[in-house]
Amino acid sequence: MKAMRLIVAAACLASGLAVPAFADDDDKDKTVVAQVNTDRGPIWVKMKAKDWDREHRTWVQRGGYVGYRVPDDKFTMYFGPEKTFRINTLPYRDMSGRPYFQYNGYWMTIVDPWPQTWPEGWYDTDDLYVRWDNGYYLYNRKYPDVGLSLEIRQ
């Protein structure tokens, strides 16, 4: 099934068409819309915090991380402070009003709002990385003391 998805995605990209998003088995009842080469700003802007200190919660405060767990050997290969990326260069999909991006084969979404002190457009221009600390967190090299809770799906 994954091979077929890759073939369909490659054909769509080659012909300039939008790449369809494929729902995972547990997402059968959810509407999935793929977006390619579109302005992603509006969906990120609506996730901006009004008061990040009050709105942010750690995975421990949420009761622990319950999403997909990346195997340790894969995590060290693909993630960590030395493996940075920019969201605007990655495959993207909007699922039920939440932005998901794909990095090294894993779909991720930010659970937290992002700090109101960060400039709009950070999601297009800043170098980001993923760390594990009792849950996955997205870090921005420009603001290394702030981790945004991140949920990973395969």
- The CA distance from 102 to 32, in Å, is 14
Nearest Cα neighbor of 86 from 44, 115, 126, 113 is 126
In the chain, domain spans = 27-153
R_g (Cα) of the chain, nearest Å: 16
> Contact, 122 vs 139, CB < 8 A?
no
What DSSP string runs through 31-100?
-EEE--SS--HHHHHTTB-SSHHHH---TTTTTS--S----HHHHHHH-STTS-B-GGGS-EEEETTEEE
Q: What is the pLDDT of residues 88-106, one digit of tens each?
A: 899 988 888 888 999 999 9
pLDDT category of residue 136 using cuts at 50, 70 and 90? very high
pLDDT at 37: 38
Which two structure tokens, joined as six digits, stand for 136?
């996955």
* 3-class SS of residue 11: helix
Whether pTM exceeds 0.75: no
Q: What is the pLDDT of residues 60-75, one digit of tens each?
A: 999 999 889 999 999 9
% of the chain at pLDDT higher than 70: 73
- The CA distance from 8 to 74, in Å, is 26
